[in-house]
Copies of this chain bind each other. A is one copy, B any other.
C-alpha cells in the first residue's frame, strides 16, 4: 500500500487543502473544516468521512503528526505538518503550476 505522495501521485483536493491549512498553523479536525471552507471561499466543505479518513492516511504516511497542546479542552486532537508534509505540498504546488501553465498556453492558442 503506497503512502500518500510516495509515488509522486497527484494530491487530491481534500488532502491538498488539509496540508495547506496546516501550513499556516497547527489545527484540530473541526478547525480544519472551518478553515478549508473559508480558504476555498466556501467551495469546498469537507465531510467528516473525507476529513478523518485523509487525516489518518496522512498520519500513517508521516506527512502530519499529532502533538500535545495546552488546549486540552474537549478532547481536541491537534495536528501539524512534518517537514515531509511541507515538502509534499510544495512539490504538488509545483506540479499544479506546470499544469496551469501548460493549459493556459493552449487555451490562448485557440481563443474562441
Chain A residues packing against B (C-beta within 8 Å): 8, 10, 13, 16-17, 19-21, 23-25, 39-41, 43, 83, 86, 89-90, 92-93, 95-100, 102-104, 106-107, 109-110, 112
User: How many monomers of this protein are in the complex?
Assistant: 2
* A93 and B100 contact, CB distance less than 8 A: yes
Give the CA-CA distance A102 to B17 in the complex, in Å. 9
Give the CA-CA distance A15 to B18 in the complex, in Å. 23
List residues of chain B with CB within 8 A of the CB of A39: 102
* A16-B93 CB under 8 A given contacts A23-B109, A109-B24, A112-B83: no
* B112 and A89 contact, CB distance less than 8 A: no
* A90 and B107 contact, CB distance less than 8 A: yes
